[in-house]
Amino acid sequence: MRVGIIAALVAALLVSGCGSGGRETPGRRTVVAAFYPLAWAAEQVAGPAVEVGNLTPPGVEPHDLELSARDVERVRDADLVVYVGGGFMAALEDALEHRPGPSLDVRGDAPDPHVWLDPRSFSAVASAIAEALGDPSRADPLLARLEQLDRELHDGLTSCARREIVTSHAAFGSLAAAYGLRQIALTGISPEAEPTPRALERLVDQVRASGATTVFAEPLVSSRLARTVAREAEVEVAVLDPIEGLSEERLAAGEDYVSVMRDNLATLREALGCR
């Protein structure tokens, strides 16, 4: 399955453009990644002759990103742009329409754009980035780390009293599908959507009926809705991170994709009553 995903991603890259759209920088190629997890993966597989930039500043929610003229220039001139398609970052997709060089949409045909929250899908993303940069073997160390992370998640979420996770927005579909969980999302793909009062009542009823003990808020968006639903349903609130971005403070403290995924695992195990 992973080989098929990699082939589809690379095919998407090849049809999106050929040749380099980057400005000539002796000995350096440039990769622009849409937001944190894609930039992190690109940094892990890029060689010393590749410079990786993150289009979304630390602590900024990528759904909300508005591109400056300088951002559009960076997108146009990069040797490779790595992004998630399907409207995840509409402003970036608009800028890509005017770009002469290759771009890699890591979403492929996945129903949930948050593919990095399933380490197996993220492995395919890492392989596709390495192949697009011309050296597939550079992904091998990262693939080993992601395989270990997948084992930890599988083992940690196998024996749990509950399988339902109530999330602020529909960011955890890939993770839920990979590990046999059921996501109950308070809003859709965009974390800024607000339910109507009637919809809010239905959400509270759904949380009560599910037997969930926790509503999960997120670090980069308001927790108001999650706390309102939790209060009305008389359950707890905890933080589950979709890893769409890390603040400067968290990056400086040494946090990264793997450490946050392990924190998420610990949070899920407590909320789900896992043994």
163-217 pLDDT, tens digit per residue, is: 999 999 999 999 999 999 999 999 876 666 678 889 899 999 999 999 999 999 9
Q: What's the number of CA atoms in the CB half-sphere (13 Å) around residue 100?
A: 7
- Quote the Cα angle for 253-259-260, to 5°: 95
pLDDT in tens, 50-88: 999 999 999 999 988 999 999 999 999 999 999 999 999
- Nearest alpha-carbon partner for 151 in 265, 53, 246, 6: 265
- 24 pLDDT more than 70: no
* H helical segments located in the chain: 2-16, 36-45, 69-77, 90-96, 119-132, 140-156, 173-178, 197-210, 224-233, 248-252, 257-272
- 5 pLDDT more than 80: no
Residue 22: pLDDT band with limits 50, 70, 90 = very low
What pLDDT is stored for residue 111 in this prediction?
Answer: 93
What pLDDT is stored for residue 27 in this prediction?
Answer: 58
Instruction: Tell me the mean pLDDT in the region 139-161.
Output: 98
Residue 23: pLDDT band with limits 50, 70, 90 = very low
pLDDT in tens, 28-48: 899 999 999 999 999 999 989
DSSP state of 63: G
What pLDDT is stored for residue 7 in this prediction?
Answer: 52
Rounded CA separation 215/102 (Å): 40
Residues 94, 117: contact at Cβ < 8 Å? no
What pLDDT is stored for residue 15 in this prediction?
Answer: 40
This prediction's pTM: 0.89
pLDDT in tens, 226-247: 999 999 999 999 999 999 999 9
In the CATH hierarchy, which fold is given to the domain comprising 157-272?
Rossmann fold (3.40.50)
Instruction: Tell me the mean pLDDT in the region 251-258.
Output: 98
Domain boundaries, the chain: 2-142, 157-272
Quote the tokens at residue 232.
């009305």
Residue 26: pLDDT band with limits 50, 70, 90 = low
Question: What is the rounded average pLDDT for all residues in the chain?
Answer: 90
Q: Give the type of residue at 63.
A: H
Q: Do domains 2-142 and 157-272 have the same CATH topology?
A: yes
Quote the tokens at residue 250.
């968290």
- Residue 120's SS3 state is helix
**Check: CATH 3.20.20.140 for 2-142?**
no
Region of poorest pLDDT, from 6-15, 62-71, 263-272: 6-15
Q: What's the number of CA atoms in the CB half-sphere (13 Å) around residue 272?
A: 25
pLDDT in tens, 88-145: 999 999 999 989 999 999 998 999 999 999 999 999 999 999 999 999 999 999 999 9
- 219 pLDDT more than 50: yes
